[in-house]
């Protein structure tokens, strides 16, 4: 028996079907070891020794692998074909060696770019040893990320209250978002005018031409800057005689884009499907690891973390065959297309992301996939096929027109484009091309010296617009252009920025929070080198050289650490006043935007002579007056007070106090404040003023007086119970929004607005809870047992009010329409539960679910006294964590 180790149970299930009884396939469930999130896990003074720790699920999986390897004739490590996959294999091998269970058992490392039978068998026939250079690159990256995070983050905490953490890649990505915000704040709109003539040929066909020159001088887009100039040109064009001076028609070709690599897949999935990068990678992972297609489990796409853009020769042949069959021979180019890119590191220079079988059309697999999976597969299939199709052929026409007005000569130009052969465009267009193609117009036939008739002249006013905020897709693209991060880090970097509350997403755009702007400005002021784009990109290149065995990883760490610790030492005597002075300068346009009347934006609006400045309090940063305590004006950073607005007349209050108005009933002041547990609303002052926390997801800046009064009115009656006639109340409690009937409480779902919750919905939630429903109104009816989750706890499928769902402890995952309660398998249930747990909090969510499931399964007669030591041990094992991330 040969033992083969992969990362995930889905991948293990797929491969197990290919290999048969001679093999046992076990999943490691990703990394089995990690650096403990506490000081001392990396020791620079001990030649960068790293202390790895096996915890929780990792310990269980190591024990399972150790059990299986004892009777095996060979251990085969078949984790993913990249640096992370190499590291997982190395961790498994190290853990087994520590347990001394190998005892001469041969160990092999195999990789495959697709989870298909042919790819797996070919890999098994060509084993190798673990690539130590790739492992060294992983160790260097982990050590750097740890050292930056755990050295720099405490400096932030001491000098900048409210900051969460800093990271090697995370902080540079945050700088990109903040730099763009500062560009927007500093932007001043510029007026310009365009003049467009609607003209007609002798045959009566109309088209539009734009003014591009006057009296021998070119007119650029912004050159006509006011209404007077525009009016003069319009009056001249109204009486002009129009003649065609030149017609130029050029044949042009548009070539297809290469197949997807990680970054381009994330960008297009965001633009076309509205998927966040993390969700895209989650779906791609499942397509890669294997999906049940008509009773056969098969990997549908190749490995999804790659910098490569070329395809295997057999895949190119298959693509050309599909093109000929589906679109005709005219769409098959005479020579197969080859794409190349300078790979940023060799270990990720794999094939592009493509379907494993290009003959498997989207329509054929759609019914076997969940809706989002099907859309992503279709996107990948179309991009792959299009990459091998014939170029689109077009004719681009430019017509130059003279407008004669007395002695004046004005010049106009009309452009048009005609698609002669659509080529790859018949199947696929990138999102950024859509507007381009919509603007393409066919011009009527014209020749030099043709007279044209004026139909209308339009003079339109425009204003320049600031650069757009980054979307997740455009930020990934910019990071890739700068060489910051790698395919496996993009999604994690964006998630970290959101989790740290450094950025938020509004209308699919990344908006920096105040704390994000402060952290970036602090780092730029005192650690500029470590948030410079070139420095971060050069460090990535050095890590790539480690992976190619060109430089020693510990030499890289020593060089970095010597300079980094010197920079940290320079901030040891840094005073808070120095920090504030630096931040006032860097964030001037953001904190103190220019006023319309041109007056000094830093003059206090209350006392009239004090100077506004950034201040740091226990709960974060705010703007206050230099005349405190005589003047008690304060406001949050990103909510500039209107001219003459006074704030916080009574008491200095909490930092960032913002007056919302006066309660018309009590005549008391309503304020927004920052507290230890987040923002809250307060009515009046005194020993015990009425307060209300904000529902999760509600931005403090969006709270108006009306909304604040509505929150302060909670709990309020929304309905009467249909049986008892007693009131049903809605309110916000310690665990979030709820509805209450007597002693029965039910949580309000995320999709419900606590201020808008209606009577029918409130009754439904209470009735569901009183009838035995669990969280969110799940009915706790007996279900069908499916088996145990690998992380512990039983899985059941149950019938709920809104359809069947999988229950695992406190995790409830609704079945997709493609599954039924009767047909769902244990493996499918595990995947659904894992996805739901990750959405609710990653590893913590899974741990809680497993704990709840195990507790529910435990026999009732178990002595309660034995539980206390376990809890105590668990508490002792959970030191305060300073979370860091490279991105």
**What are the residues facing 635 on neighbouring strands?**
623
Average pLDDT, whole number, for the chain?
A: 83
Q: How confident is the model at residue 593 (pLDDT cuts 50, 70, 90)?
A: confident
pLDDT at 29 > cutoff 70: yes
pLDDT digits (tens, 9 = 90+) for 369-393: 999 999 999 999 999 999 999 999 9
Listed ranges 73-87, 744-758, 817-831, 840-854; the one with the highest mean pLDDT: 73-87
Residue 870 pLDDT: 40
- Lowest pLDDT segment from 170-174, 508-512, 650-654: 650-654
Distances in Å between the Cα of 712 and the Cα atoms of 84, 403, 454, 677, 700 are 50, 68, 65, 17, 15
- Lowest pLDDT segment from 231-240, 721-730, 760-769: 760-769
Alpha helices in 500-575 (DSSP H): 514-526, 533-547, 553-569
pLDDT at 176 > cutoff 60: yes
Q: Nearest CA to 347 among 109, 584, 599, 589? A: 109
Torsion angle of the four alpha carbons 745, 746, 747, 752, in this order, in degrees rounded to the nearest 10: -120
Residue 885 pLDDT: 38
pLDDT at 368 > cutoff 50: yes
Listed ranges 579-583, 697-701, 818-822; the one with the highest mean pLDDT: 579-583
Average pLDDT over residues 590-596: 75
- Lowest pLDDT segment from 351-355, 571-575, 749-753, 822-826: 749-753
| 655 vs 350, residue with greater confidence | 350
pLDDT digits (tens, 9 = 90+) for 503-545: 988 888 999 988 888 888 888 888 888 888 888 888 888 988 9
Residue 490 pLDDT: 84
| 618 vs 566, residue with greater confidence | 566
| 817 vs 838, residue with greater confidence | 838
Residue 180 pLDDT: 92
Q: How far apart are CA 640 and CA 631, in angstroms?
A: 17
Listed ranges 15-19, 385-389, 658-662, 717-721; the one with the highest mean pLDDT: 385-389
Q: Answer yes or no: are the C-beta atoms of 710 and 718 closer than 8 Å.
A: no
- Lowest pLDDT segment from 207-211, 536-540, 631-635: 631-635
Which DSSP string do the residues of 684-703 spell out, in sequence order? S-SSS-EEEEPPTT--GGG-
Residue 596 pLDDT: 67
Q: Answer yes or no: are the C-beta atoms of 321 and 411 closer than 8 Å.
A: no
Average pLDDT over residues 252-267: 93
Tell me what percent of the chain is helix, strand and coil, each rounded to the nearest 5.
40, 25, 40
| 734 vs 606, residue with greater confidence | 606
Q: How confident is the model at residue 751 (pLDDT cuts 50, 70, 90)?
A: low
Distances in Å between the Cα of 423 and the Cα atoms of 218, 317, 332, 441 are 37, 18, 9, 18
Residue 883 pLDDT: 40
- Lowest pLDDT segment from 6-15, 412-421, 678-687: 678-687
Residue 294 pLDDT: 77
pLDDT at 750 > cutoff 70: no
pLDDT at 740 > cutoff 80: yes
pLDDT at 293 > cutoff 90: no
| 335 vs 579, residue with greater confidence | 335
Burial class (CB in 10 A: 0-12, 13-18, 19+), 534: exposed
Residue 8 pLDDT: 86
Q: Answer yes or no: are the C-beta atoms of 731 and 716 closer than 8 Å.
A: yes
Q: How far apart are CA 608 and CA 644, in angstroms?
A: 9
Residue 589 pLDDT: 74
Residue 133 has φ and ψ, to the nearest 5°, of -65, -40
- Lowest pLDDT segment from 191-205, 694-708, 779-793: 779-793
Average pLDDT over residues 557-569: 90
pLDDT digits (tens, 9 = 90+) for 834-880: 888 877 665 555 565 556 555 545 444 444 444 444 433 333 333 34
Residue 260 pLDDT: 95
Percent of the chain scoring above 90 in pLDDT: 38
Alpha helices in 702-841 (DSSP H): 705-712, 759-770, 826-839
Average pLDDT over residues 201-223: 94
Domains of the chain: 2-130 (3.40.50.140), 139-187+468-577 (1.10.460.10), 191-255+393-463 (2.70.20.10), 262-390 (1.10.290.10), 592-690 (no CATH), 716-859 (no CATH)
Residue 196 pLDDT: 96
Which residue in the list 257, 303, 530, 590 is annotated as catalytic? 303
Residue 759 pLDDT: 81
Which DSSP string do the residues of 16-71 spell out, in sequence order? HHHHGGGEEEEE--S-S-B--SSTTSEEGGGTTEE--B--THHHHHHHHHHHHHTT
Q: Nearest CA to 103 among 124, 79, 123, 74? A: 74
- 23 included as an active-site residue: no
Listed ranges 141-145, 373-377, 741-745, 830-834; the one with the highest mean pLDDT: 373-377
Q: Is this prediction's pTM over 0.85?
A: no
């Amino acid at each position: 028996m040969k033992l083969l180790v992969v990362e995930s149970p889905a991948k293990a299930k797929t491969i197990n079907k290919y290999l048969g009884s001679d093999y046992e396939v076990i999943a490691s469930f990703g990394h089995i070891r990690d650096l403990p999130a506490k000081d001392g896990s990396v020791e620079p003074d001990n030649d960068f020794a790293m202390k790895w720790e096996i915890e929780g699920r990792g310990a269980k999986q190591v024990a399972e692998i150790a059990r299986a390897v004892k009777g095996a004739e060979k251990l085969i490590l078949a984790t993913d074909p990249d640096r992370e996959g190499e590291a997982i294999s190395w961790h498994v091998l190290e853990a087994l060696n520590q347990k001394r269970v190998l005892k001469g058992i041969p160990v092999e490392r195999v990789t495959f770019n697709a989870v298909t039978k042919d790819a797996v068998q070919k890999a098994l026939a060509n084993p190798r040893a673990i690539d130590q250079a790739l492992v060294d690159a992983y160790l260097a990256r982990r050590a750097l990320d740890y050292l930056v995070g755990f050295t720099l983050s405490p400096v932030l905490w001491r000098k900048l209250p409210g900051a969460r953490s800093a990271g090697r890649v995370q902080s540079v990505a945050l700088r990109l978002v903040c730099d763009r915000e500062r560009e927007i704040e500093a932007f001043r709109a510029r007026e310009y005018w365009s003049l467009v003539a609607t003209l007609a040929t002798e045959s009566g066909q109309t088209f539009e031409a734009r003014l591009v020159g006057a009296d021998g001088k070119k007119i650029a887009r912004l050159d006509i800057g006011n209404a007077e100039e525009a009016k003069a040109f319009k009056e001249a064009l109204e009486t002009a005689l129009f003649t065609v001076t030149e017609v130029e028609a050029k044949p042009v070709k548009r070539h297809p884009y290469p197949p997807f690599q990680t970054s381009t897949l994330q960008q297009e999935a965001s633009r076309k499907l509205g998927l966040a990068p993390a969700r895209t990678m989650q779906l791609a992972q499942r397509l890669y690891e294997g999906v049940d297609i008509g009773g056969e489990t098969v990997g549908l796409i190749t490995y999804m973390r790659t910098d490569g853009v070329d395809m295997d020769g057999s895949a190119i042949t298959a693509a050309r065959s599909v093109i000929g069959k589906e679109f005709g021979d005219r769409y098959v180019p005479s020579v197969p297309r080859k794409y190349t890119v300078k790979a940023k590191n060799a270990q990720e220079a794999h094939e592009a992301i493509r379907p494993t079988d290009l003959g498997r059309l989207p329509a054929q697999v759609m019914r076997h996939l969940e809706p989002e999976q099907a859309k992503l597969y279709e996107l990948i299939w179309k991009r792959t096929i299009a990459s091998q199709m014939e170029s689109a052929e077009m004719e681009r026409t430019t017509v130059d027109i003279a407008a004669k007005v007395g002695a004046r000569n004005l010049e106009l130009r009309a452009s048009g484009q005609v698609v002669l052969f659509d080529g790859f465009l018949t199947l696929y267009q990138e999102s950024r091309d859509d507007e381009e193609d919509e603007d393409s117009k066919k011009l009527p036939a014209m020749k030099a010296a043709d007279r044209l008739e004026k139909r209308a002249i339009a003079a339109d006013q425009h204003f320049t617009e600031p650069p757009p905020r980054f979307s997740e897709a455009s930020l990934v693209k910019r990071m890739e252009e700068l060489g910051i991060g790698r395919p496996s880090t993009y999604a994690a970097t964006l998630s970290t920025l959101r989790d740290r509350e450094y950025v938020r997403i509004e209308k699919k755009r990344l908006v920096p929070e105040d704390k994000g702007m402060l952290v970036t400005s602090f780092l730029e002021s005192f650690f500029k080198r470590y948030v410079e784009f070139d420095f971060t990109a050069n460090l990535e290149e050095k890590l790539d050289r480690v992976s190619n065995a060109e430089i020693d990883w510990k030499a890289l760490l020593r060089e970095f650490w010597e300079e980094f610790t010197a920079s940290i030492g320079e901030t040891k005597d840094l005073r808070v006043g120095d920090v504030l002075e630096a931040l006032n300068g860097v964030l001037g346009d953001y904190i103190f935007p220019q006023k319309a009347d041109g007056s000094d934006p830093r003059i206090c609006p209350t006392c009239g002579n004090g100077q506004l400045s950034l201040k740091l309090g226990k709960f974060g940063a705010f703007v206050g007056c230099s005349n405190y305590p005589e003047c008690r004006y304060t406001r949050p950073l990103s909510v500039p007070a209107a001219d003459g607005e006074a704030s916080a007349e009574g008491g200095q209050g909490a930092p960032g106090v913002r007056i919302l108005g006066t309660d018309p009933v009590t005549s008391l002041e309503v304020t927004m404040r920052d507290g230890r547990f987040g923002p809250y609303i307060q009515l009046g002052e005194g020993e015990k003023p009425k307060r209300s926390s904000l529902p999760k997801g509600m931005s403090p800046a969006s709270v108006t007086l009306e909304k604040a009064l509505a929150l302060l009115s909670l709990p309020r009656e929304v309905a009467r119970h249909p049986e008892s006639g007693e009131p049903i109340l809605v309110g916000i409690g310690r665990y979030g929004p709820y509805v209450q009937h007597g002693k029965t409480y039910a949580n309000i779902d995320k999709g419900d607005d606590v201020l808008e919750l209606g009577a029918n919905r409130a009754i439904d939630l209470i009735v569901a809870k009183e009838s035995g429903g669990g969280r969110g109104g799940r009915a706790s009816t007996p279900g069908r047992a499916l088996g145990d989750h690998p992380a512990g706890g039983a899985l059941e499928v149950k019938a709920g009010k809104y359809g069947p769902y999988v229950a695992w402890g406190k995790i409830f995952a609704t079945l997709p329409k493609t599954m039924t309660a009767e047909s769902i398998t244990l493996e499918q249930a595990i995947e659904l539960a894992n996805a739901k747990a990750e959405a609710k909090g990653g590893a913590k969510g899974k741990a809680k679910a497993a704990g709840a499931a195990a507790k529910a399964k435990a026999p009732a007669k178990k002595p309660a006294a034995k539980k206390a030591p376990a809890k105590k041990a668990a508490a002792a094992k959970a030191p305060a964590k300073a979370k860091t991330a490279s991105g």
